[in-house]
Amino acid sequence: MTPQDFDTLVRARRSVRGYRPDPVPRAIIEQIVATALWAPSNCNVQPWSVHVVSGDSLRRLGQALIQQAQSGKPHPDVPMDTAYRDTFRARQIGSAKALYNAMGIARDDHAGRTAAFLRNLDAFGAPHAAFVFLPEGFGTREAGDLGGFVQTLLLAITAQGLGSCAQGALSLYPNVVRSHLGLPEGPQLICGIAFGLEDPDHPANAARTDRAPLSEILTLHG
């Protein structure tokens, strides 16, 4: 792989919010995760575990999450209480505007926006979703390692010609996920990742976002 090949792969990865129903073969899913396992971590502790939910089981979980969202407040394992301000808030607004514009949902269309949000909880209709957990007893340092694993997983999905979307929304009701999968309390659900073959005709997939200029991010010393 050349530097240009890698640059192309990274730029090809984007958030896909509409999928074809075709399942991804089990062997490819296993290869994707096997590749992601080579992500670095402090002292090679590899602080992550992954549960992939597919097909009808994922649809049932999605409906359970939607019902929970319609009847109660979120209760994520890691509180989502950060307030985005200034430049970060502007980026957030710009991203949301691009998505809603692509789907033809006006700013004052509250019903349309609610329906669009609820699609998150069904993993946008994807045939698969990976739920990523931080093992019990780990904190911010290890969560940083887990972020590197998630990025490697997303790139491995992209390299297979598949679409994906990392979703904080799939972590909003962790007890529903644990109940559905028969998992114990302890490990923290950090995020979910919808993945599968992209539906190029879904309007949400026409949305595009940019990135901040290098001058805003990078400072060279020495």
Q: Round the average pLDDT of the chain to a whole number and report it.
A: 97
Q: What is the mean pLDDT of residues 150-178?
A: 98
What distance in Å separates the CA atoms of residue 32 and residue 21, rounded to the nearest whole number?
Answer: 19
Buried b (16+ CB within 10 A) or exposed e, 8-46: eeeeebbbbbbbbeeebeeeebeebbebbeebebeeeeb
Q: What is the mean pLDDT of residues 207-211?
A: 95
Pairing of strands 163-167, 128-134: unpaired
Residues 97-127: pLDDT tens digits?
999 999 999 999 999 999 999 999 999 999 9
Q: What is the mean pLDDT of residues 51-70?
A: 98
Are 55 and 127 contacting, i.e. CB atoms less than 8 angstroms apart?
A: yes
Angle (CA) 99-103-108 rounded to 5° is 85
pTM: predicted TM-score of the whole model, two decimal places: 0.96
pLDDT over 70, % of the chain: 100
In the predicted structure, residue 166 carries a pLDDT above the cut 90: yes
What distance in Å separates the CA atoms of residue 112 and residue 119, rounded to the nearest whole number?
Answer: 11
pLDDT tier at 72 (50, 70, 90 boundaries)? confident
How many alpha carbons lie under 13 Å from residue 203 in its C-beta half-sphere?
9
How far from 152 is each of 13, 27, 32, 124, CA to CA, in Å? 11, 18, 9, 21
Q: Which CATH class is domain 11-210?
A: alpha beta
pLDDT of 94 reads 96
Q: What is the mean pLDDT of residues 202-220?
A: 96
Domains of the chain by residue range: 11-210
